Amino acid sequence: MNKKIAVIAIGGNSLISSKGKESLEDQHMAVFETARHIADIIEAGYQAVVTHGNGPQVGFILARSDLAAHEIHRISLVIAVADTQGAIGYEIQQNLDNEMRRRGRKSRTVSLVTQVLVDKNDPGFKNPTKFIGGFYEESQLPEIRKNHPDWILKADANRGFRRVVASPRPQGIVELEAVENMVKAGFNVVTVGGGGIPVIEENGRLEGVPAVIDKDLATCLLAEKLKSDLLIISTGVPQVAINFGRPDEEKLGRVKAGQMARYLAEGHFPPGSMGPKIEAALNFLRNGGREVIITDPPNLGAAIKENKGTHIIN
């Protein structure tokens, strides 16, 4: 491989910029903007391996399935994740290649529908915690349970009831060899979308399971396996901060991994927001990675060229 590899995780803010901008046209424009920032990283001398979130999009697919259930069969969670990998991957690869052509540079990007192996005995299956799909009133629960006897429903922050599914830890990337071969051939690759399609191995066969894998943990595993030079986690803020939202808030620039681990242990990064990203970053560094950058999409290029964002180093 001639170029350095940057594994880039783009979050939901890269696909849906704000509430009320959720149409396909809005998402296309959001990906168009994000592709410009990824192109900056490629121009800086990196080959891009891109992962992406898909939470809202999976929710939309499942909602459409429910609304059309009187006319046509419902879509499973596993198929919804696969659908979003194809649709979002198409948007990223087309916009990224168009942007590189606009800059007068040759670029080839390919998307790969990707399965991620999980342990069927993972504790997450016994205590599902990942909310997916829309909200339901308590009065709707008997009908929901009648139509979906296998669903587990829990209250979500006093906003109603939602379906919860397991969030097992990723153990392996089934199509890893294909990703490696495409990278060696010079392609930028879009893969492990939404954390990957979760599968378990049963009697030598792979089977999809209704679960959602944390995107950042799956991205970290991918970066480790590819021996990536750099892991970039795109999020909604330009820099990570401690004491977030308080008068003594402190934005972090260049931080050693050990110091960041102490901040994590002190509770600065909540499990529902920045916590999984910091955990993924530290896992990558513990397993041989050299640097992780966390910033928002507009600062991706500046993070490479001007040290913007938060840089976590060994």
Active site members: 12-13, 130, 215, 277
Torsion of CA 287, 291, 294, 298, to 10 degrees: -140
Are residues 242 and 268 in contact, defined by beta-carbon separation less than 8 angstroms?
yes
Q: Name the strands in the sheet holding 188-190, side by side, starting at the edge strand that comes first in the sequence.
A: 109-111, 188-190, 46-52, 4-10, 230-234, 291-295, 310-313, 254-256
Rg of the Cα atoms in the chain = 20
Altogether, the residues listed in the chain come to a count of 314
d(CA 221, CA 11): 17
d(CA 187, CA 137) in angstroms, rounded, equals: 47
DSSP secondary structure code for residue 236 in this structure: S
Beta-bridged to residue 163, according to DSSP, are 132, 153
CA distance readout (Å), 274 to 35, 140, 219, 253: 23, 33, 15, 15
* Distance of alpha carbon 284 from alpha carbon 187, whole angstroms: 23
Query: Which one, of 213, 250, 232, 225, lies nearest residue 300 by Cα?
Result: 232
CA distance 65 to 93: 27
Q: Rounded distance, CA 178 to CA 88, Å? A: 19
The total of other beta-carbon atoms located within 10 Å of residue 149's CB is 7
Residue 241 identity (one-letter amino acid): A
